[in-house]
């Protein structure tokens, strides 16, 4: 059983999907050991506590320097013996030191089909606004490993979602979550926990 930490900043619907997948037996080989938020008001913290999961807030404002915040984040993961870090709407740049220490042990959910609508500045609703602006007919979500870049690590799973003529950014965001994010994120966790994800030449192979 691998130990997972879920890092969040907001509502935590992806965290909820992971909690529900664990309860439903979709996730069998991983336990959610810890939830960390950078914001004390994140509703995700309440979701974690309600599910009996240890929930902590580590906010940059509590530290004198960014370096100290980074160290606290890494120390907390180390102390809990975390095997896999899941970024589920965590809107903090992951320190290089953490990427180096947890190479191929950090995954992120992004609400588009990478490499479209990703990179610096593309998060949350803005991703869907840009997709609608461009007039794409298909969008979706991506789970990928985190490397030193932004949304640039090896892709694990992707799922497409059709764009409707009358979509707003909000309606598209919700459908991408319901049809793609909440499915592929728990699926990716279970694949990794079952040792079925291999990286060869920067590309993921699911065995
Ligand atoms: C999700 O849509 C996730 O894909 C997105 O933030 C939202 C968090 O919602 N992440 C990014 O945009 C990362 N670049 P949630 O707190 O309800 O899970």
Which residue lies with its CA nearest to atom 14 of ligand 1? Answer: 123
As a whole number, mean pLDDT of residues 61-82 equals 97
Phi, psi of 123 (to 5 degrees): -150, 155
As a whole number, mean pLDDT of residues 60-73 equals 97
- 123 CA distance to ligand 1 middle (Å): 7
Q: Give residue 67's pLDDT.
A: 97
Q: Give residue 18's pLDDT.
A: 98
For β-strands 30-37 and 55-57, DSSP reports them as parallel
Q: Atom of ligand 1 at shortest distance to CA of 15?
A: 18
Q: Give residue 127's pLDDT.
A: 98
Secondary structure, 3-state, 166-198: CCCHHHHHHHHHHHHHHHHHHHHHHHHHCCCEE
The finding on whether 11 has its CB within 6 A of some atom of ligand 1 is yes
pLDDT digit string, tens, across residues 120-165: 999 999 999 999 999 999 999 999 999 999 999 999 999 999 999 9
Tokens standing for residue 203: 């590309």
Q: Give the sign of the dihedral formed by CA 162, CA 108, CA 53, CA 196.
A: positive
As a whole number, mean pLDDT of residues 63-89 equals 98
The finding on whether 144 has its CB within 6 A of some atom of ligand 1 is no
Which residue lies with its CA nearest to atom 10 of ligand 1? Answer: 89
- 87 CA distance to ligand 1 middle (Å): 9
* Strands ordered across the beta sheet of 55-57: 55-57, 30-37, 2-8, 84-87, 106-110, 138-145, 155-162
Among residues 105, 123, 106, which one has the least CA distance to residue 114?
123
- 38 CA distance to ligand 1 middle (Å): 14
**Domain extents in the chain:** 2-206
- Round to whole Å and give the CA distance between 162 and 115: 17
As a whole number, mean pLDDT of residues 3-31 equals 98
- Round to whole Å and give the CA distance between 63 and 61: 5
**What is the architecture, at CATH level 2, of domain 2-206?**
3-Layer(aba) Sandwich (3.40)
């Amino acid at each position: 059983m691998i130990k997972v930490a879920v890092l969040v900043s907001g509502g935590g619907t992806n965290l909820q999907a992971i909690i529900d997948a664990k309860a439903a037996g979709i996730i069998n080989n991983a336990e959610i050991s810890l939830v960390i938020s950078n914001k004390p008001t994140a509703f995700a913290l309440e979701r974690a506590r309600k599910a009996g999961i240890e929930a902590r807030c580590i906010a940059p404002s509590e530290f004198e320097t960014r370096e100290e915040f980074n160290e606290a984040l890494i120390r907390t993961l180390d102390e809990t013996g975390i095997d896999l870090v899941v970024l589920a709407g965590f809107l903090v740049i992951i320190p290089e030191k953490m990427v180096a220490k947890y190479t191929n042990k950090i995954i992120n959910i992004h609400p588009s089909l990478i490499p479209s609508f990703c990179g610096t500045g593309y998060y949350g609703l803005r991703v869907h606004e840009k997709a609608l602006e461009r007039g794409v007919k298909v969008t979706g979500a991506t789970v990928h490993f985190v490397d030193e870049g932004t949304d640039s690590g090896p892709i694990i799973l992707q799922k497409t979602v059709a764009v409707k003529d009358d979509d707003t950014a909000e309606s598209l965001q919700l459908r991408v979550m319901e049809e793609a994010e909440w499915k592929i994120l728990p699926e990716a966790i279970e694949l990794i926990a079952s040792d079925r994800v291999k990286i060869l030449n920067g590309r993921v192979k699911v065995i």
